[in-house]
Structure 1
Amino acid sequence: MKMYKKIMDGVAVVEKAILVSSTLLILVLTVGNVFSRKVIHRSWSFTEELVVAVFVLITLLAAALASREGELVSLSLFTDRLPEKIKKPSMILITVLSVIFTAVLFKYGFDKVLIQLANGKRTFVLNWPEWIFWSFIPIGAGCMILHLIEYCIDFCRKDREITSKEKEDK
């Protein structure tokens, strides 16, 4: 289990580095395009194409990192009021449903990547292969699945540790 946690910590570090560099890229492109339009009176036509694709990557990786801490989507108003005995099964059910949804997202994103690879379709402005941008969806979904499972395991282990400490106190 310690090895799995170390691997997931490494994945999180890589995700954070990608998020920081992607955000900086969007900042530079957007500010540069505004400056170019207002001062030089020439627009950078490629920025919209690139910024939209990178936003997809940022959104999915940020959601993955949020799910690592259990902060993605949860109705804590409901789950916090549950009896202690039901909290663990509830978390497992929420994780299973979230993983199913994210696996469907992964599958359709991966299928779209394969279709784009087969078609050889390219983007309009940059003339890059479209599969590059579509690959952000399965990458983000895969990271999200890993982090959803990681949080569920951590939640269940924490619950088990609390139970064993209570038994020791008695």
Structure 2
Amino acid sequence: MKVFKKIMNAVVAVEKFILVISTLLILILTVGNVFSRKVIHRSWSFTEELVVAVFVLVTLMAAALACREGELVNLSLVTDRLPEKMKKPSVILSTILCVIFTAILFRFGMDKVLTQLANGKRTFVLNWPEWIFWSFVPIGSGCMILHFIEFCIDFCTDKNKKEDK
């Protein structure tokens, strides 16, 4: 279990690094484009393409980190009123459903990446391969699956430790 936690902590460190770099990239591109439009009177046409793609990555990575804390999909209106014995099964059921949904997202994301690779389709402005941007979907959903499972394990083992004492 300690090895799994170390691996997941390393994954989180990489995710946080990606989030910081991606957010800075969005900030620099957006502010730079506004400055360029207002001062130089020339728009950076590539910024919209890049910012939208990187925003997808930021959204999915942030959602994955939220999954780690059990904060992404959580309707506590019902689960808070459950008896203590029912909380663990409800978390397990919720995890199973979330992993199924995210696995479907991963599958469709991978299908799109493979289709883009086969077609050789490129972006309109930058002329980059589209599969690069579509790869953010399976990467983010893969991280979400890992963190859903991690949260469920943490929740179930913490409850067991508290009940044993």
Q: Is TM > 0.5 for Structure 1 vs Structure 2?
A: yes
Map of 1:21-170 to 2, 5 A cutoff?
21-165=21-165
SS at match of 1:47: helix
Runs of 4 or more above 6 Å deviation: none
- In the TM superposition, residue 129 of structure 1 has moved relative to its aligned partner by 0.1
Q: Counterpart amino acid of 1:27?
A: L
SS at match of 1:82: coil
- In the TM superposition, residue 6 of structure 1 has moved relative to its aligned partner by 0.3
Query: Quick one: distance in 2 between partners of 1:152 and 1:63?
Result: 16
RMSD of Structure 2 on Structure 1 (CA)? 0.4
Query: Quick one: distance in 2 between partners of 1:13 and 1:87?
Result: 30
- In the TM superposition, residue 20 of structure 1 has moved relative to its aligned partner by 0.5
Q: Counterpart amino acid of 2:163?
A: T
Structure 1 gaps, min length 5: 166-170
SS at match of 1:123: coil
- In the TM superposition, residue 89 of structure 1 has moved relative to its aligned partner by 0.4
Query: Quick one: distance in 1 between partners of 2:147 and 2:91?
Result: 14
Query: Quick one: distance in 1 between partners of 2:13 and 2:114?
Result: 28
- In the TM superposition, residue 73 of structure 1 has moved relative to its aligned partner by 1.3
The aligned length equals: 165
Query: Quick one: distance in 1 between partners of 2:125 and 2:114?
Result: 21
* Aligned-pair identity (%): 78
- In the TM superposition, residue 68 of structure 1 has moved relative to its aligned partner by 0.2
1:65-95: CA deviation from partner (whole Å, max 9, x where unpaired): 0000111111112101100111000000000
Query: Quick one: distance in 2 between partners of 1:53 and 1:110?
Result: 16
Give the TM-score, by structure 1 length: 0.97
Query: Quick one: distance in 2 between partners of 1:58 and 1:103?
Result: 19
Give the TM-score, by structure 2 length: 0.99
Query: Quick one: distance in 2 between partners of 1:47 and 1:34?
Result: 10
**Which residue in 2 is equivalent to 1:16?**
16
Query: Quick one: distance in 2 between partners of 1:33 and 1:75?
Result: 40
